[in-house]
């Protein structure tokens, strides 16, 4: 993770630990059985709800969260496509592959590969939009895992509290045991709330922000590749991307594509058109 993410998490944990220490005996907040119930129950729920492939994909994404490849911003993409347009006019479409490889962007490399293979412009659009939909579907599933974890953790915390209360009622004849049992019972709810609101839900939001940035990047790349496929020069492609608002609310080339793009950027499921259903 980025240093910013690690520092933010460390500060949050430090504040919570300090609050617990100031509240008295720290050991009273330790309940291994309750923690096992919350964490184990949450993980069991998501393993039951989602295929293993989705969970592995989410794990890989979280490991590289904030530390993976840098998303190409609008101005940088404009410069890249202006250079590609000049290279295409000077050396042809075949030379674009090597230039795109230097950026490290797999989606851009895919587009230039289609150009080098002389694929028709409409088919290029369809192939790139299809790849975008696969990307959107994967990210939507990954965010859904975190969303479910954010709901399950407090629920299992409450379940642990109910279990503790039931056990406590069996010792109602001993007032000391009742007060101790109540304290332990409430800890599972505390664990569930902390797990959901300190870790899971912030991670879901972080993944959503990265997804939006990558959706913007992919949309601009599609526009740039289509400009190259049409034989536009660098100035025309720059105008095309800048008229698109550099992904800040400009128009999109087709209504169905615009609906899918806006849906993903808004953090919702992108609408699928009949012509691109897979």
Per-residue pLDDT of the chain (278 residues; tens, 9 = 90+): 566 666 776 777 777 777 767 766 667 778 888 899 999 999 999 999 999 999 999 998 888 775 666 788 888 889 999 999 999 999 999 999 999 999 889 999 999 999 999 999 999 999 999 999 999 999 999 999 999 999 999 999 999 888 888 877 776 666 666 666 677 778 899 999 999 998 999 999 989 988 888 898 898 999 999 999 999 898 998 888 887 655 444 333 344 444 555 555 454 333 443 344 33
The whole domain housing 168 covers: 31-276
State the pLDDT at residue 265.
47
Say if 13 falls within a structural domain: no
State the pLDDT at residue 81.
93
State the pLDDT at residue 26.
66
Is residue 237 classed exposed, middle or buried when 0-12, 13-18 and 19+ CB atoms within 10 A define those classes?
Answer: buried
State the pLDDT at residue 74.
80
* Nearest by Cα to 217 from 135, 115, 274, 114: 135
CA atoms of 63 and 47, how far apart (whole Å)? 19
Say if 158 falls within a structural domain: yes
Say if 77 falls within a structural domain: yes
To which residue do tokens 């050396």 refer?
Answer: 91
Say if 1 falls within a structural domain: no
State the pLDDT at residue 248.
45
Say if 124 falls within a structural domain: yes
CA atoms of 62 and 64, how far apart (whole Å)? 5
Say if 23 falls within a structural domain: no
CA atoms of 62 and 81, how far apart (whole Å)? 31
Q: Does pTM surpass 0.85?
A: no
> Total domain count for the chain?
1
Say if 6 falls within a structural domain: no
Q: Please spell the DSSP secondary structure of the chain, one letter per residue.
A: --HHHHHHHHHHHHHHHHHHHHTS-GGGG--HHHHHHHHHHHHHHHHHHS-HHHHHHHHHHHHTTTTSPPPPPHHHHHHHHHHHHHHHHHH-GGGHHHHHHTTT-HHHHHHHHHHHTT--HHHHHHHHHHHHHHHHHHHHHHHHHHHHHHHHHHHHHHHHHHHHHHHHHTTTT-HHHHHHHHHHHHHHHHHHHHIIIIIIHHHHHHHHHHHHHHHHHHHHHHHHHHHHHTT--HHHHHHHHHHTTTSSS---S-HHHHHHHHHHHTTSPPP--GGG--
State the pLDDT at residue 169.
77
Say if 25 falls within a structural domain: no
State the pLDDT at residue 275.
40
């Amino acid at each position: 993770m980025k240093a910013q993410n690690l520092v933010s998490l460390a500060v949050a944990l430090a504040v919570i630990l300090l609050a617990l220490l100031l509240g008295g005996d720290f050991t009273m907040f330790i309940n291994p059985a309750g923690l096992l119930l919350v964490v184990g129950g949450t993980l069991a729920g998501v393993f039951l709800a989602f295929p293993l492939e989705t969970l592995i994909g989410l794990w890989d994404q979280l490991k590289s969260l904030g530390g993976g490849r840098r998303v190409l911003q609008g101005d940088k993409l404009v410069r890249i496509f202006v250079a590609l347009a000049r290279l295409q006019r000077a050396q042809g479409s075949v030379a674009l592959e090597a230039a795109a490889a230097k950026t490290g962007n797999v989606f851009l490399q895919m587009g230039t590969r289609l150009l080098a293979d002389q694929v028709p412009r409409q088919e290029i659009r369809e192939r790139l939009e299809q790849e975008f939909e696969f990307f959107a579907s994967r990210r939507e599933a990954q965010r859904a895992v975190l969303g479910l974890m954010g709901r399950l953790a407090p629920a299992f915390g409450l379940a642990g509290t109910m279990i503790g209360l039931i056990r406590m009622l069996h010792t109602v004849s001993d007032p000391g045991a009742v007060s101790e049992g109540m304290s332990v019972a409430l800890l599972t709810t505390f664990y569930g709330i902390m797990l959901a609101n300190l870790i899971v839900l912030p991670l879901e939001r972080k993944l959503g922000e990265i997804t939006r940035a990558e959706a913007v990047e992919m949309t601009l790349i599609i526009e740039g590749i289509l400009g190259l496929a049409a034989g536009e020069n660098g100035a025309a492609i720059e105008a095309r991307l800048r008229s698109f608002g550099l992904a800040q609310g400009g128009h999109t080339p087709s209504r169905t594509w615009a609906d899918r793009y806006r849906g993903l950027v808004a953090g919702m499921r992108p609408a699928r058109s009949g012509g691109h259903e897979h």
